[in-house]
Amino acid sequence: MLYDANPTLEGVKTIDEARQGSVFFKEYGVLSNSPGLKHFYIESYGCAMNFSDSEIVASILGDVGYAPTRNMEESDLILVNTCSIREKAEETVRKRLKVFALMKRARPGIKVGILGCMAERLKKQWLEEEKLVDLVVGPDAYRDLPNLIGGAEEGGRMVNVLLSREETYADISPVRLDSNGVTGFISIMRGCDNMCSFCVVPFTRGRERSREPFSIVAEARDLFEKGYREVTLLGQNVDSYKWENPETGERADFADLLAMTAAVHPDLRIRFSTSHPKDMTDKVLHTMAAHENICKYIHLPVQSGNSRILEMMNRTYDREWYMERVESIRRILPDAAISSDIITGFCSETEEEHQDTLSMVEWAGYSMSYMFSYSERPGTLAARKYADDIPEEVKKRRLSEAIALQRAVGLRYNQGEIGKTFRVLIERDSSKSDQEFCGRNSQNSMCVFPKKEGLKPGDYVMVRIKEVTSATLLGEVM
Ligand code: 5AD
Ligand code: SF4
């Protein structure tokens, strides 16, 4: 496969693990040395949206004669698509920049560019701080890359961090990097208007805007025709997707978009991420119920189980509202799995309030959660309004408690699946053995099972679950 992952990269998470949107890293490309072509090497950090953006960048660069490589040493251009969500994500990138500095010392002609959220957050500061950076390009400025690269080649140090109210890259056909050829991301909107007080995203990705639906459906159809069998529709808050045809007044909300995409083909599965509890409607749930091929899985981050903390986080819902939304999911989609994001040790959080988060994990029965300790981000509402007053060791202890509980709840959830048979889309060999395949069921649980003659990635199979761990279902093909 052209863009297969580099199997020698130890400890590197795969794009499959990045699909729900937390902080991971992957490098991309082919080991190639096509003569005459220039090569770029790109590393992506952060959420699935960033991974998807790197595929847009690859397309824009391809148009001006740059091919991807996964060998940094043969590249003419090193790009790093960065994340600002927590301090640790930024530290990781800074460490990588030191490696690129060494590379640049050996080959002074090579150009280094910072893309994405850290580029946007730190803007020109990069050029002052990091003398090795030639390009600083924010998430809405990727179309300007050829021009900026041209300037850098002439010795300039180039910056474009303009945010846009319109840019959705709707007409750009992403170059699928590191793809298994079965599952792909489609960006349906950009930016975020939700001002959660802890979050840097509204500052780094700008105002929310939705991509026109026909280009989304066309992209899904194109992927299906190329053999893909699953697409994940991406947005910071997919439930606030809205589009109106300026000429006809025709409208589409997220439920409409889901139905349109599901109609591409019954064998094309649709996933989406991320849902916001304040905006997730019963209309979306009914649309999911009406289409077999819309996966019965909702990533519905609660962040905290306590209403006072939720108010300080500016999440605009309280514990009761969240519980009512979960009850609606249970009523309309009884077999759906729900997962969450959780932050421990937010400003002024008491032990009792932390217990409310734990009891929510227990009550909601999440199949899995991404959990983080609070990391203050400069410029956010919380940084301006509240003291980051929970000691680091308390934040970490609360995080460990939440992780331990989620592990137990996840295991219990998985044990409930023993004996059931699921339709699984085969994605690839399992990470432990080339005698086994892995793939997900509709509920997004990873299933591992021995290979059978004639089966290949992209096929659907019925798998009966025999054993489980807290993260995986183990079964056999029926
Ligand atoms: N500190 C810790 N976690 C954060 N997240 C967002 N901002 C912060 C922060 N400042 C988490 C939220 C979000 C996920 C993508 O990252 O849980 O849903
Ligand atoms: Fe994605 Fe947010 Fe990180 Fe930007 S800051 S890469 S939007 S997770």
And the tokens for 302? Answer: 């609660």
Distance 103 CA to ligand 2 centre (A): 27
Q: Is the pLDDT of residue 153 over 50?
A: yes
Q: Is the pLDDT of residue 417 over 90?
A: yes
153 and 41, same structural domain?
A: yes
Q: Is the dihedral of CA 196, 200, 206, 210 positive or negative?
A: negative
Task: Return the beta strands (E) in 258-335 as ranges.
Answer: 269-273, 297-299
More confident residue, 26 or 375: 375
Question: Residues 41, 75: contact at Cβ < 8 Å?
Answer: yes
Residue identifier of the C-alpha nearest atom 6 of ligand 2: 83
Residue 446, pLDDT score = 98
And the tokens for 385? Answer: 């309004």
Residue 68 in any domain: the answer is: yes
344 and 238, same structural domain?
A: no
Residue with tokens 């701080």, as numbered in its chain? 129
Residue 313 in any domain: the answer is: no
What are the beta bridge partners of residue 185? 232
> Would the CB of 198 count as within 6 Å of ligand 1?
yes
Top mutation candidate among 50, 199, 312, 388 for ligand 1, by most atoms within 8 Å of CB:
199
408 and 426, same structural domain?
A: no
Residue 205 in any domain: the answer is: yes
Distance 233 CA to ligand 2 centre (A): 16
Residue 306 in any domain: the answer is: no
Residue identifier of the C-alpha nearest atom 1 of ligand 2: 47
d(CA 92, CA 43): 12
139 and 30, same structural domain?
A: yes
The pLDDT confidence band at residue 10, using thresholds 50, 70 and 90, is: very low
Q: Is the pLDDT of residue 463 over 60?
A: yes
Residue 166 in any domain: the answer is: no
Using CA atoms, how far residue 101 sits from 43, 148, 159, 267, in Å, is 15, 20, 19, 47
SS3 297: strand
Top mutation candidate among 19, 20, 22, 86 for ligand 1, by most atoms within 8 Å of CB:
86
Residue 29, pLDDT score = 43
Which of residues 260, 295, 330 is at a domain's end? 295
Residue 142 in any domain: the answer is: yes
Question: Mean pLDDT throughout 396-421?
Answer: 98
And the tokens for 405? Answer: 């509980």
Question: Mean pLDDT throughout 160-175?
Answer: 95
Distance 198 CA to ligand 2 centre (A): 13
Say how many C-beta atoms besides its own lie within 10 A of residue 355's C-beta.
14
325 and 206, same structural domain?
A: no
Q: Is the pLDDT of residue 17 over 80?
A: no
For the chain, what's the residue count?
A: 478
155 and 35, same structural domain?
A: yes
Ligand with the closest atom to the CA of 236: 2
User: What is the percent of the chain with per-residue pLDDT over 70, rounded to a whole number?
Assistant: 92
**Helix (H) or strand (E) run with residue 397 in it:** helix 392-415
> Would the CB of 182 count as within 6 Å of ligand 1?
no
> Would the CB of 86 count as within 6 Å of ligand 1?
yes
Top mutation candidate among 81, 189, 204, 207 for ligand 2, by most atoms within 8 Å of CB:
204
d(CA 232, CA 236): 13
147 and 20, same structural domain?
A: yes
Which residues are CB-contacts of 53 (< 8 A; sequence separation ≥ 6)? Answer: 44, 81, 115, 116, 139, 142, 187
Nearest to 257 by CA among 226, 207, 216: 216
Question: Residues 5, 178: contact at Cβ < 8 Å?
Answer: yes
User: What is the percent of the chain with per-residue pLDDT over 90, rounded to a whole number?
Assistant: 85
The pLDDT confidence band at residue 96, using thresholds 50, 70 and 90, is: very high
Residue 397 in any domain: the answer is: yes
Q: Is the pLDDT of residue 333 over 90?
A: yes
Q: Is the pLDDT of residue 5 over 60?
A: no
Which residues are CB-contacts of 117 (< 8 A; sequence separation ≥ 6)? Answer: 46, 50, 82, 83, 84, 85, 139, 200, 201, 204, 205
> Would the CB of 303 count as within 6 Å of ligand 1?
yes
- Per residue in 188-231, pLDDT (tens digit) is 999 999 999 999 999 999 999 999 999 999 999 999 999 999 99
Residue 132, pLDDT score = 80
Q: Is the pLDDT of residue 22 over 70?
A: no
Residue 104, pLDDT score = 86
Question: Residues 110, 99: contact at Cβ < 8 Å?
Answer: no
Burial of 435 (0-12, 13-18, 19+ CB in 10 A): exposed
Distance 205 CA to ligand 2 centre (A): 8
Question: Mean pLDDT throughout 353-371?
Answer: 98
- Averaged pLDDT score across all residues of the chain: 91
Domain tally for the chain?
4
Residue identifier of the C-alpha nearest atom 2 of ligand 1: 374
128 and 25, same structural domain?
A: yes
CATH value at residue 437? 2.40.50.140
Ligand with the closest atom to the CA of 46: 2
**Helix (H) or strand (E) run with residue 408 in it:** helix 392-415
Residue identifier of the C-alpha nearest atom 15 of ligand 1: 22
d(CA 39, CA 434): 32
Residue 35, pLDDT score = 53
445 and 409, same structural domain?
A: no
> Would the CB of 48 count as within 6 Å of ligand 1?
no
Question: Mean pLDDT throughout 348-361?
Answer: 98
d(CA 106, CA 130): 17
- Per residue in 26-36, pLDDT (tens digit) is 444 443 445 56
The pLDDT confidence band at residue 126, using thresholds 50, 70 and 90, is: confident
Residue 308 in any domain: the answer is: no
Which of residues 109, 133, 160 is at a domain's end? 160
Residue 36, pLDDT score = 64
Question: Residues 83, 47: contact at Cβ < 8 Å?
Answer: yes
CATH value at residue 139? 3.40.50.12160
Mean pLDDT check: name the lowest of 33-37, 80-84, 176-180, 240-244: 33-37
CATH value at residue 354? 3.30.750.200
Q: Is the backbone peptide bond immediately before 82 cis, with ω within 30 degrees of 0?
A: no
Which residues are CB-contacts of 4 (< 8 A; sequence separation ≥ 6)? Answer: 178
136 and 249, same structural domain?
A: no
pTM: 0.91
Ligand with the closest atom to the CA of 380: 1
Distance 236 CA to ligand 1 centre (A): 12
Nearest ligand 1 atom to alpha carbon 375: 1
431 and 408, same structural domain?
A: no
Q: Residue 236 carries which side chain, given as an amino acid letter? A: Q
Q: Is the pLDDT of residue 9 over 90?
A: no
* Helix, strand, coil % in the chain, rounded to nearest 5: 35, 25, 40
> Would the CB of 24 count as within 6 Å of ligand 1?
no
Ligand with the closest atom to the CA of 273: 1
Which of residues 133, 160, 187 is at a domain's end? 160
Ligand with the closest atom to the CA of 50: 2
Question: Mean pLDDT throughout 112-131?
Answer: 87
44 and 21, same structural domain?
A: yes
Distance 50 CA to ligand 2 centre (A): 7
Residue 294, pLDDT score = 98
Top mutation candidate among 49, 81, 115, 274 for ligand 2, by most atoms within 8 Å of CB:
49
Opening angle at CA 126, ends 124 and 130, nearest 5 = 145
The pLDDT confidence band at residue 102, using thresholds 50, 70 and 90, is: confident
- Residue 263 structural domain: 179-295
> Would the CB of 347 count as within 6 Å of ligand 1?
no
